[in-house]
Structure 1
Amino acid sequence: MPFLTDRVPKHRALRGGLVKWKPCHPLHEPTRRPGQPDRAGHCAAAPAAAPALNISMVDNTTRSERSRKAAIQAALAILARDGPGQLTFDAIARESGISKGGLMHQFPNKGAVLKALLEHQIEHFDRFTQGYLAAMGKDRPLANLSAQIATLRESITTPHSVAFAILPALVEEPELLAINRQMEAEAVKRIRAEATDPDLSLLRMEAAKGLALSALFGLSALSAQERDRLFERLLDDRQWPGSPEAKKPRTSRPAKKPASNAQNH
């Protein structure tokens, strides 16, 4: 059998489609159908198909995340406007425009809704705390204490606060606050580490928490202006003894010694 030369075409149109043969030696081999053996009896494999991108799966994930965010925003709006007693699946469906079946797919029960709301609020206030620290400077004395007090004040000025729904939820879902307790334990640890008087720092933080909770649950007799003034007092390190910026009392000048009468004698 004569050897093939360069005059032999590298591709040959065959019935069933073209398959490009990659030679394992300098000589060229003609194009062969899938499964057709060469002179050595080797068969050309069919070209592998590229994996298809499942566009529908990506779209479904995007729609699901969009629906979840819309449901959370609707629930926050209901809490702020109508109170926790009106937070139902029907109300969320009307507010968000999502079908009740779609909501049940995202949130199997009301506890799941409250858990999602709590996680949403934790993320919101964590971003506020980190932004406050960045603006103030983490190296400032008692920075973590100031950030906690400022965040508690922010919690009562935020229109959509999930705190209204926490108290009723504790009866049926007490484990919902496990994340909050862990975060507060970490905050207390940071505050103690930076303080020269840890007890005083914790007292200031708990006072701020009392101002916030009494306002959130409608138990405070203070006006918004009075409450804001007290928050400012809690934030002002200069007004608290033991803090690095506490006001130092003025020292009186020593009295002048009376002139000695010895000079008169």
Structure 2
Amino acid sequence: MENSARSERTRNAAIQAALTIIARDGPGRLTLDAIAREGGLSKGALMHQFRTKEAVLKALLEYQNDYLEKFSEHYLATTGVGKSEPQLSAQIETMREATTNPITVASAFLGVVAEDPALFAKVREIDAQKVELLKAEAADPDLATLRWAAARGLAVTAMLGFCPLSEEVRTRLFDRLLDSERWPAPAKAGKTVSDRKRAKG
């Protein structure tokens, strides 16, 4: 049990050290030696957890994805209950959450992009599944996808540090994207504005 706890501490220390190095020095400076120095770890202890830099990068992605997935699941089980589009709301709120600690998330993503973009294949697969879920629950799948994509754009530009919008504006836009009542589905095909006016008359 003690060995297991020590192993977990070493793993977490290595992940935090890797995030710090990428954020401070850039992904090109990420090496196993640098991680060991930054984390105050022996090279042997680090190599016991991560044999290669690619293994560290995979762990960084898993670390971020696990956190955001747990956040999404908690949202669906609490705030999302009773929402007309819970899957969409959970995805938008999760992307907002990612911007609350943008350096950490961006560091993980930048490290992977710089070294091995192929590692994102699993992330793309998971995202595709979630988009299908939010489209399935939506009255207008295209509109739901558009809201998801807008939230993703806000999150990514904020995380990478080149969003021209202030935090206040981003917060307001995330609130707008979350508010399904402000995104009514279009009338069914064949029902024009004139048709609806006549029906009311």
TM bracket, shorter-chain basis? 0.7 to 0.9
Offset from partner CA, 1:63-121 (integer Å, 9 cap, x none)? 22321122112223444455434433333223322112321232122211110010011
Aligned Cα RMSD in Å? Answer: 2.4
More relative contact order in 1 or in 2 (CA 8 Å, sep 6+)?
2
* Alignment of 1:241 onto 2:169: no
The alignment partner of 2:104 has SS state of: coil
Q: 1:187 and 1:87, CA in 2 relative to 1: closer, same or farther beyond 3 A?
A: same
Equivalent residue for 2:170, pick from 224, 227, 240: 227
Listed as ranges, the matches of 1:17-36 within 5 Å are none
Aligned to 1:123: 66
Which sections of structure 1, spanning at least 5 residues, go unmatched?
1-57, 244-250, 255-265
Amino acid at match of 2:77: A
Q: Is the 8 A contact 1:129 1:151 kept in 2?
A: yes
Which sections of structure 2, spanning at least 5 residues, go unmatched?
187-196
Q: 1:128 and 1:165, CA in 2 relative to 1: closer, same or farther beyond 3 A?
A: closer
Cα offset, 1:139, TM superposition: 4.1
Aligned to 2:116: 173
Q: Is the 8 A contact 2:57 2:111 kept in 1?
A: no
Equivalent residue for 2:142, pick from 178, 182, 199: 199
* Alignment of 1:186 onto 2:140: no
Amino acid at match of 2:27: P
Listed as ranges, the matches of 1:36-185 within 5 Å are 59-158=2-101, 161-185=104-128
Cα offset, 1:169, TM superposition: 2.7
Bigger helix fraction = 2
What is the alpha-carbon distance in structure 1 between the residues aligned to residue 171 and residue 134 of structure 2?
22
Q: TM-score, normalised by structure 1?
A: 0.64
Structure 1 residue ranges (4+ consecutive) displaced by more than 4 angstroms after TM superposition: 80-83
Amino acid at match of 1:240: W
Question: How many residues align structurally?
Answer: 188
Percent pairwise identity: 54
